Structures are given as structure tokens and as C-alpha cells.
């Protein structure tokens, strides 16, 4: 999955429960300062992303997520880790 694909999915998630539009959201967008998302909104965002991408994001990482860029980076890392583990499991 590309960063662009993940970004579009994150935009879909955010626009599904906020009044924001896709064009309002970019990589530099700050989740709390710019979008006024509270901790409940952030939790919903992360939980929906986990479900969409079939990944798990640790609470310690979740606490550090501040921008769309952070979410995309965390998503890419988690997805790549799952792929790596799956590939190596098949080779055993």
C-alpha cells in the first residue's frame, strides 16, 4: 500500500465523522490544533484505521500521533511489518 492510498483512506475515515472535506486534509494537517479533534475523536480515528488496514497501533504510539503525516507513517510501518511477518511465516 502506498502512502497516497493510506492518506486517502485516512481522509475517508475523518470525513465520515467530521464536517471536514477531503480537500481540507493534507499531510501537514494537525489533528487537535487545526481540526479540533479531541481524544475520543482520535481514538475513533485510530480504531477505524486499525480495522480498515487490519493492523494494531500500540497505545504508546497512539499518544504520539499529532498529524495526518504521523498517521500515514504509523500505518505504513504497521502494514509493512504485517507483510514482513506474513512473508517470513510462509518461508518457515
Residue 92, pLDDT > 90, answer no
Is 30 in a helix, a strand, or coil?
A: strand
Residues in CB range of 63: below 8 A, 6 or more apart? none
Give pLDDT tens digits for 28-80.
999 988 998 888 888 888 889 889 888 888 888 777 888 999 888 888 888 87
Q: Give me the domains of the chain, ranges plus CATH numbers.
A: 3-91 (1.10.1200.10)
- The whole-angstrom separation of Cα 36 and Cα 32 is 4
**pTM for the whole structure:** 0.79
39-53 and 68-91 helices cross at what angle (nearest 10)? 30
Amino acid at each position: 500500500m502506498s502512502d497516497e492510498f493510506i492518506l486517502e483512506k485516512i481522509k475517508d475515515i475523518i470525513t465520515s465523522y467530521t464536517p471536514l472535506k477531503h480537500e481540507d486534509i493534507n499531510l501537514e494537517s494537525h489533528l487537535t490544533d487545526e481540526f479540533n479533534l479531541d481524544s475520543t475523536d482520535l481514538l475513533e480515528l485510530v480504531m477505524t484505521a486499525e480495522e480498515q488496514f487490519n493492523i494494531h497501533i500500540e497505545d504508546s504510539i497512539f499518544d504520539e500521533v499529532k498529524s495526518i503525516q504521523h498517521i500515514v507513517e504509523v500505518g505504513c510501518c504497521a502494514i509493512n511489518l504485517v507483510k514482513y511477518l506474513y512473508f517470513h511465516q510462509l518461508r518457515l
